[in-house]
């Protein structure tokens, strides 16, 4: 499988145990299988970057994809809440955070590679609205598909780091790619705030329903 890592640096050998432990899925090497996304992720408003290309054999690795069954968005959200800083702005949000962590957090300590939505500013704001009770579970699921913000492929274990092989890199010009990065974000936010696209529907499930009805991870309504 070919994967790409966008960075302001050329990274020929990813270092296990190095990086920010407060990323979406904790300490790991964050990649994508979409070279265009890697290019966007590599630049800042004033710095060029590199789309680093790698090859990895997943056949002997333990891999979970949080966007596919048997996992649900709430499993993804629980991992996000465990690793990212989240300040509760209401008693409901605090209760929701505790409930999600206690009922939907999976043990991924022995997982080599994790695949799932990336929680950039847009996705994280969508998740925050759900926890606060502003949007329903269905609306959150729809929001995570807006703007084609992409999935992450995250190398977590030492075994995964040993399985990845550097191939090449492509320089990325911020003048060309930073506007594309911003446009993708703005498109996702614009679609999210489109009232007709995102209006409430009868029988929508909100976080308060999930808590009050004690919905578990295998509840068919959450699949």
- CB 210 within 8 Å of CB 99: yes
Can you spell out the DSSP letters for 56-106?
Answer: E--TTS-EEETTSTT--HHHHHHHHHHHS-----SHHHHHHHHHHHHHH--
- What is d(CA 99, CA 97) in angstroms, rounded to the nearest whole number? 6
For residue 102, how many other CB atoms are within 10 A of its CB?
A: 9
pLDDT grade for 131, boundaries at 50, 70 and 90: very high
Higher pLDDT, 51 or 145: 51
The 10s digit of each residue's pLDDT in 112-124 is: 999 988 766 667 7
pLDDT of residue 122: 66
Is residue 221 over pLDDT 70?
yes
pLDDT of residue 120: 67
pLDDT of residue 125: 80
The whole-number average pLDDT for the span 84-90 is: 78
The 10s digit of each residue's pLDDT in 170-203 is: 999 999 999 998 988 888 778 777 755 567 788 8
The whole-number average pLDDT for the span 72-95 is: 88
Q: What's the whole-number average pLDDT of the chain?
A: 89
Alpha helices in 120-215 (DSSP H): 121-131, 137-143, 158-163, 174-192, 207-212
- What is d(CA 7, CA 51) in angstroms, rounded to the nearest whole number? 7
- What is d(CA 144, CA 137) in angstroms, rounded to the nearest whole number? 11
pLDDT of residue 148: 64
Q: Which residues pair with 152 in a beta bridge?
A: 116
Higher pLDDT, 88 or 20: 20
pLDDT of residue 142: 82
pLDDT above 70: percentage of residues in the chain: 94
Closest by CA position to 198, among listed 127, 121, 141: 141
Closest by CA position to 105, among listed 7, 223, 216: 216
Is residue 107 over pLDDT 90?
yes
Domain ranges of the chain: 2-222
- CB 132 within 8 Å of CB 97: no
The whole-number average pLDDT for the span 91-115 is: 95
Closest by CA position to 207, among listed 81, 85, 116, 121: 81
pTM, 2 dp: 0.88
pLDDT of residue 149: 63
pLDDT grade for 219, boundaries at 50, 70 and 90: confident
**H or E element that contains 35:** helix 35-42
Higher pLDDT, 223 or 16: 16
Is residue 155 over pLDDT 90?
yes
């Amino acid at each position: 499988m070919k994967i790409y890592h966008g960075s302001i640096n050329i990274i020929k050998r990813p270092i296990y145990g190095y990086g920010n432990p407060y990323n979406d899925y904790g300490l790991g090497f964050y990649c994508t299988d979409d070279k265009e996304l890697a290019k966007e992720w590599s630049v800042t408003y004033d710095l060029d970057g590199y789309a680093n290309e790698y090859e990895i054999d997943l056949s002997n690795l333990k891999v979970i994809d949080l966007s596919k069954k048997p996992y649900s968005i709430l499993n993804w959200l629980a991992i996000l809440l465990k690793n990212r800083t989240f300040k509760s702005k209401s008693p409901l949000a605090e209760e929701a955070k505790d409930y999600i962590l206690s009922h939907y957090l999976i043990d991924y300590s022995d997982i080599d590679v994790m695949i799932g939505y990336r929680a950039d500013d847009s996705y994280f704001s969508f998740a925050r609205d759900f926890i606060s009770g502003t949007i329903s579970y269905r609306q959150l699921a729809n929001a995570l598909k807006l703007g084609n913000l992409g999935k992450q492929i995250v190398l977590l274990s030492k075994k995964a780091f040993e399985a990845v092989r550097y191939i090449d890199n492509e320089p990325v010009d911020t003048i060309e790619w930073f506007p594309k990065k911003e446009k993708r974000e703005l498109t996702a936010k614009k679609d999210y705030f489109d009232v007709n696209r995102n209006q409430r529907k009868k029988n929508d499930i909100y976080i308060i329903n999930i808590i009050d009805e004690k919905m578990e991870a295998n509840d068919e309504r959450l699949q």
